[in-house]
A and B are shown apart, each in its own frame.
Chain A
Amino acid sequence: MELWIYTSRRLVQIVIIFFVILTVLFLLFRLAPGDPVSRMVDPNLTPEDAQLLIEELGLDQPVWIQYFYYLKNFLTGHFGFSFHYGRPVVQIIGDRLPNTILLFTTSIILSALVGIFLGKIASWHKGEKTDTCLTVGALVTHTVFLPWLALIMIWVFAYKLGWFPITGMISEEVWLDPDAGLWPKSVDILHHMVLPLTTLFLIHFGSYLLIMRTSMLETLREDYILTARAKGLPEKVIRNHHAAPNAALPVVTSVGLSLAFSINGGALTETVFTWPGIGRELVFSVSHNDYPLAQASFLLIAAVVLVSNLVVDILYAYLDPRIRY
């Protein structure tokens, strides 16, 4: 099958899947108990005023009419206003998403690079002290409870040692200073990023290390490695140029998907470090029945994951033509 036919088929499938997600999301939020107005526990809100609010929000309409407007709005690129913020959800997501991408994408790339490197070392030293230390270390850091680690990091490095700010993304001292230019502001963000980034790095690098180690051990048993050794190639060349690039493929797949999912941030990390990302907003919008914000956020995640999958599929199909059939 030609690559373009395969791609077109996958594209149609993805559009159908996206439509299903679109519908399921709509139904899921409507099935959740309560509505945005029921959360307003204020004795000054009379039932009549609450009803008016419900009507103005369009929530008094039959579900199928709401669904129709939902689809229409989606197709016209209008995601509506957040019930609680009173702002377009596109603006809210637009404000928060770059912060999430900055922190989480950096942490994933950094974790993957270090994980691949250390995984390679561990597998090369299989059964030795280096391997034991790296594997145990990876397991420990990977399984640590994230909020606990985050709080310990804050307590030691921000509170006790005072090296870093306690939480947040920027310092008002820098950002309110009219003379502060781009450099001090960038440095300020980096300064605030160190603790959350280190925490995420410690949590994530272990999984990449373990995947790389396993993959590398399998690769080292392949015939072409034996051939390389028989040819008398130096060990370093065999490890770095013959084994590692092939062994790294599963890690790259894992990184690709992690990057796609990174846009949903991490509510826990963002909360503990007061990082103004999308993760906290996701949790808030779901718990407060803020349908437009929750729907748009989840749709964005779905779209990015589906597109990432499509890209990976096309790449695989290109690299390995057997997949097309």
Chain B
Amino acid sequence: MSPTSSVTIESFLKGILCLAVAMLVLLFPGLSGTQSNAASCLKIGLPEDPRTLNIWLASDRNSRNILSQIYQPLYTRDPDTLKLVPWLAEQEPVFDAETLSYTVRIKPSKWSDGSELTSEDVAFTGRVIKDFRVPRLASRWNFIKRIETPDKHTVRFYLKEPKAIFLSRTLTTPIVQKKEWIKIVEKARGTEKPLIKLLNHKIEKPVGSGPFILKEWRQGCYLFLQKNKYFFGTGRRISGRILGPYIDSIIFKIYGTSDAAILALKKGSIDMFWWRIQAGYLQDLKTQKDIQIFSNEKSGLYYIGFNVRKPPFNDVNLRRAVATLIDKDFIISRILQGLAIKMNSIVPPGNQFWYCPEVPRYAEGLNREERIKKAYEILRKAGYTWQLPPVNGQGKVVKGKGIRLPNGQPMEKFTILTPPADYDPLRAMAGMIIQEWLGMVGIPASAKPMAIGSLIQQVKGRRQFDSFILGYGRLDIDPDWVRNFFHSSNDKPRGWNMSGYKNPDFDRIAEESASILDREKRRKLIWEMQKMILQDVPYIPLYNPRLIEAVRKDKFSGWVGTLGGIGNIWSFCEVRLN
């Protein structure tokens, strides 16, 4: 039995070995295909495919990243000052107070198919958004009464009422080509569900006015973008920068995991990974001589929010006591490993113009014991009682028990909803730590990780919750969202006032802030709103994670860092071969 079998095993193993060798010879790198000879081809790793190239449907980050190279707005933000600068527009818009209109002159520019970009394209874009009520964009345009095009390079917008976001939001909308879209739009108009018809239209080769055009998209593998020879910015000085692009093409390669993308970056298969680098990879990347790390602030807000419609969080004193107990420095240093910025206000400090540094702060610089004593004082004065107070007769801190509300009722256990650890371990961990801190004063909190879809449904749809930890990673630089988040009219299902905060004074100032056109005066109002929120604390801002990005510096340089990282239009117009 054995000799026969040994021969068989031997032949089998030999066969396997031969097969393996044959495969290696056949498939060895270098033999399997031509190597890229496009020296100035920038290779960028993406974590996922863009979902769509239809600009009206694109809501995911990867689609927007790709489309931001193709479709361009009239104005964009200077990377250093964050002020609006003319992009497709020739100069600052001219305001006519009498007719409540803005006139914008457009630079002589062309679409990627060589045709001229005119005021008709701008007006068409606005009309499509308004008529179809395109999600996410309609709110920027619904106050426009009409759009006129006196000549090919002039467009005039008439407003129904003064709107502060006109400049910062309406005029930063990407412009589409009328020629490309007119037939699609007309066809959609005649259908029963025009919006869905428009959103579901497949765009394969978008015609844009940006620095790059899409040449090929192999789904799940890569996107190949080439320099747009008609790009209006080439050789032009905008915001003190002479624009390129200085590279011939960009290849976006898809990497399903950060692990694979980081290895590809280290190996030189890609020049940049367009995604946040997690803390765990940082030390390793710092030791790589060809890797450059960028750390920028995000326009983000991570916070704990309360349901102020019902007990116990309808009491501002309890909310202030919680704000006193939360040690943001601890969360940042221990959970986020220092890779975040402490948020004192709800507007991130990197948004320099709108950030209010004078908001009320809670327990700044206090240690744990002092925080507990201060929170105890706030609650005691508000009428809360304990079976066992957290500060005993000798003034020593002990574990509090049996807290009762000012009306004498025992405080029932409440939940802090957090995203699950597989979605965001940092927020899940922050929830657990906050639960412990509240427990020290006898406040019966329980952190409950919940699938993100359920969490949003619970908080934004059903409004059945006590408190929650959520975050936004890409807030607009214009802080109109502060009004959105806390105006009482938005306390409705799917509305953004998730806490149910109601303050007539806040509403009045918020409304004024939405319609005032003077930037300085508006800043005062926005600051006032921030102070009110931090006074009433329907949200306690916690932190804003820093955006860590990594690139290879051996081949390309010229990355432009700004609020929101290096993945911006300025970088792609400035990056060049070393």
Are the C-beta atoms of A33 and B454 separated by less than 8 Å? yes
Residues from chain B with Cβ under 8 Å of A49 in the complex: 133, 135-136, 138-139
Residues in chain A near residue B4, CB distance under 8 A: 234-236
- Complex CA–CA separation, A159 to B35 (angstroms): 18
Contact (Cβ within 8 A) A86 B200: yes
Bitwise interface map of B from 194 to 231 toward A, beta carbon under 8 Å scored 1, else 0: 01100111100000000000001011111010000000
For B5, the chain A residues whose CB sits under 8 A away are 121, 124-125, 130
Q: Are A194's CB and B23's CB within 8 A?
A: yes
Is A258 interfacial (CB-CB < 8 Å)?
Answer: no
Provide the B470-495 mask, 1 if CB < 8 A to any CB of A, else 0. 00100110000100110000101111
**A177: interface (CB < 8 Å):** yes
A20 contacts chain B at the CB level, 8 A cutoff: no
Could you say which of A37, A172, A190 has the most chain B C-beta atoms within 10 Å of its C-beta?
A: A172
**A16 interface residue (CB < 8 Å to B):** no
Does B263 contact A154, Cβ atoms closer than 8 Å? Answer: yes
Interchain CB contact under 8 A, A43 and B472: yes
A298 CB-CB contact with B under 8 Å: no
B259 and A168 contact, CB distance less than 8 A: no
Complex CA gap A125/B493 in Å reads 69
Q: Tell which of B32, B220, B456 touches A276, judged by Cβ atoms closer than 8 Å.
A: B220
In the complex, which residues 83-125 of chain A have their Cβ closer than 8 Å to any Cβ of chain B?
84-87, 95-96, 99, 117, 121, 124-125
Determine if A280 is an interface residue (Cβ-Cβ < 8 Å).
yes
Are A84's CB and B136's CB within 8 A? Answer: no
Q: Are B476 and A44 in contact (CB under 8 A)?
A: yes
Partner of A188, one of B32, B193, B472: B32
A200 to B27, CA, bound (A): 19
B29: chain A residues within 8 A (beta carbon): 162-165, 191
Question: Is A276 in contact with B140, judged by CB distance below 8 angstroms?
Answer: no
Assuming the contacts A86-B201, A188-B32, asked whether A47 and B495 have C-beta atoms less than 8 A apart, the reply is yes
A39 touches B34 (CB 8 A): no
How far, in whole Å, are A276 and B453 apart by their CA atoms in the complex? 25
Contact between B219 and A95 (Cβ–Cβ < 8 Å)?
yes
Of A266-274, A299-307, A316-324, the one contacting chain B is: A266-274
- In the docked arrangement, what's the CA distance between A46 and B454, Å? 20
Residue A187 at the chain B interface, CB threshold 8 Å: yes
Question: Is there contact, CB below 8 Å, between B461 and A38?
Answer: yes
Q: Mark A5-39, 1 if CB is under 8 A from B, else 0.
A: 00000000000000000000000000011110111
Asked if B393 CB lies within 8 Å of chain A CBs, one says no
A188, B222: Cα distance in complex, Å: 15
Answer whether residue B256 sits at the interface, using C-beta atoms and an 8 A cutoff.
yes
B451-465 CB contact bits vs A (8 Å, 1 = yes)?
111101110110000
Residues of B within 8 A of A53 (CB): 135, 195
How many chain A residues touch B (CB < 8 A): the figure is 80
- Bound: A157/B427 CA distance, A: 36
The answer to the question of A50 belonging to the interface, with a C-beta cut-off of 8 Å to chain B, is yes
Distance in Å from the Cβ of A322 to the closest Cβ of chain B? 35
Q: Is A245 in contact with chain B by the CB < 8 A criterion?
A: no
The answer to whether A174 and B33 have CB atoms under 8 Å apart is yes
Measured in the bound complex, the distance between the Cα atoms of B8 and A125 in whole Å is 12
Contact with B136, one of A35, A44, A165 (Cβ below 8 angstroms): A44
Chain A residue, CB-CB nearest to B28: A163
A194: chain B residues at CB < 8 Å are 23, 27
The closest CB in chain A to the CB of B202 belongs to A87
* Distance from B270 Cβ to chain A, minimum over Cβ atoms (Å): 9
The answer to whether A172 and B196 have CB atoms under 8 Å apart is no
Q: Is B39 close to A, CB under 8 A?
A: no
The minimal Cβ–Cβ distance linking B515 to chain A, given in whole angstroms, is 17
Smallest beta-carbon distance A35→chain B, Å: 8
Scoring B residues 228 to 257 as 1 if CB is less than 8 Å from chain A, else 0, what string do you get?
A: 000000000000000000000001011111
In this complex, what residue of B is CB-closest to A284? B48
Q: Shortest beta-carbon distance, A31 to chain B, in Å? A: 12
Complex CA gap A169/B28 in Å reads 15
Shortest B452–chain A CB gap in Å is: 8
Complexed CA–CA distance, A117 and B13 (Å): 11
Q: Are A187 and B26 in contact (CB under 8 A)?
A: yes
Contacts of B49 in A (CB 8 A): 276
In the bound assembly, the distance between CA atoms of A36 and B32 in angstroms comes to 43
CA distance A48 to B493 in the complex (A): 10
Residues of A within 8 A of B334 (CB): none
A132 near B: Cβ within 8 Å?
no
Q: Is the CB of B52 within 8 A of A86?
A: yes
Contact at B1–A235, with CB atoms within 8 Å?
yes
- Complex contacts, A162 vs chain B, CB 8 Å: 29, 267
CA of A21 to CA of B472, assembled, Å? 38
B489's nearest neighbour on chain A, judged by CB, is: A47
Chain A 123-148 interface 0/1 with B at a Cβ cutoff of 8 Å (1 = within): 01100001000000000000000000
| A41, B221: Cα distance in complex, Å | 27
B284: min CB distance to chain A, Å: 12
Residues of A near B494 (CB, < 8 A) are 37-38, 47, 50-51
State which of A52, A125, A166 has its C-beta within 8 Å of the C-beta of B195.
A52
The answer to whether B8 touches A121, judged by C-beta atoms less than 8 angstroms apart, is yes
- Choose among B32, B54, B220 the residue that contacts A274 (Cβ–Cβ < 8 A): B220
B321-343 contact mask (Cβ, 8 Å, vs A): 1 or 0: 00000000000000000000000
Given A86-B199, A87-B200, A272 and B257 touching (CB < 8 A)? yes
Task: Select A40's contact among B59, B140, B199, beta carbons within 8 Å.
Answer: B59
* Nearest Cβ on chain A to B501's Cβ, whole angstroms: 15
Query: What is the CB-to-nearest-CB distance from A42 to chain B, in angstroms, rounded to a whole number?
Result: 5
Report the Cα distance A38→B255, complex, angstroms.
Answer: 27
Q: How far is the CB of B247 from chain A (nearest CB, A)?
A: 15
Q: Is B399 an interface residue (CB 8 A)?
A: no
Tell whether, in the assembled complex, residue A86 and residue B57 are in contact, meaning their CB atoms are under 8 Å apart.
yes
| With contact pairs A52-B195, A86-B200 given, residues A170 and B218 touching in the complex (Cβ less than 8 Å) | yes
- Are B9 and A172 in contact (CB-based, < 8 A)? no
**How far is it, in angstroms, between the C-alpha of A55 and the C-alpha of B29 when the chains are bound?**
52
Q: Is A287 among interface residues, defined by CB-CB distance under 8 A?
A: yes
CA distance A84 to B269 in the complex (A): 30
Chain A residues with Cβ under 8 A from B476's Cβ? 43-44
Whether B260 pairs with A166 at a CB distance below 8 angstroms is yes
Q: Which of A56, A87, A121, A155 has the most CB of B within 10 A?
A: A56
Query: In whole angstroms, what is the CA distance A276 to B51 when docked?
Result: 13
Contact with A along B49-74 (1 / 0, CB 8 A): 10110100101100000000000000
- Which of B32, B139, B269, B490 sits near A44, CB closer than 8 Å? B139
The yes or no answer to B264 lying at the interface (CB within 8 A) is yes
The verdict on B95 contacting chain A, using a C-beta distance below 8 Å, is: no
Task: Answer whether A85 and B451 are a contact pair too, CB < 8 Å, given A121-B5, A235-B1.
Answer: no
Contact status B457-A38, CB under 8 Å: yes
Q: How far is the CB of B88 from chain A (nearest CB, A)?
A: 21
* B residues near A272, Cβ cutoff 8 Å: 256-257, 259-260
B266 within 8 Å of A by Cβ? yes
Contact of A166 among B196, B216, B267 (CB under 8 A): B267
Contacts of A63 in B (CB 8 A): none
Q: Are the C-beta atoms of B263 and A41 separated by less than 8 Å?
A: no
State A154–B255 Cα separation when bound (angstroms). Answer: 13
A184 to B30, CA, bound (A): 11
Contact of B256 among A167, A173, A288 (CB under 8 A): A167
Contact A158 B263 (CB under 8 A): yes
23 A–B pairs (Cβ distance < 8 Å), ordered by A:
A38-B457, A40-B135, A44-B476, A45-B135, A50-B135, A53-B195, A84-B52, A86-B201, A95-B219, A99-B220, A159-B267, A162-B29, A164-B29, A169-B221, A172-B222, A172-B253, A180-B33, A187-B32, A271-B257, A272-B259, A274-B256, A276-B220, A280-B256
Interface residues of A (CB under 8 A from B): 32-35, 37-53, 56-57, 81, 84-87, 95-96, 99, 117, 121, 124-125, 130, 151, 154-155, 158-159, 162-177, 179-180, 184, 187-188, 190-191, 194, 234-236, 270-277, 280, 287-289
**Nearest 5 A-B pairs (CB), nearest first?**
A276-B220, A174-B33, A34-B453, A274-B256, A47-B494
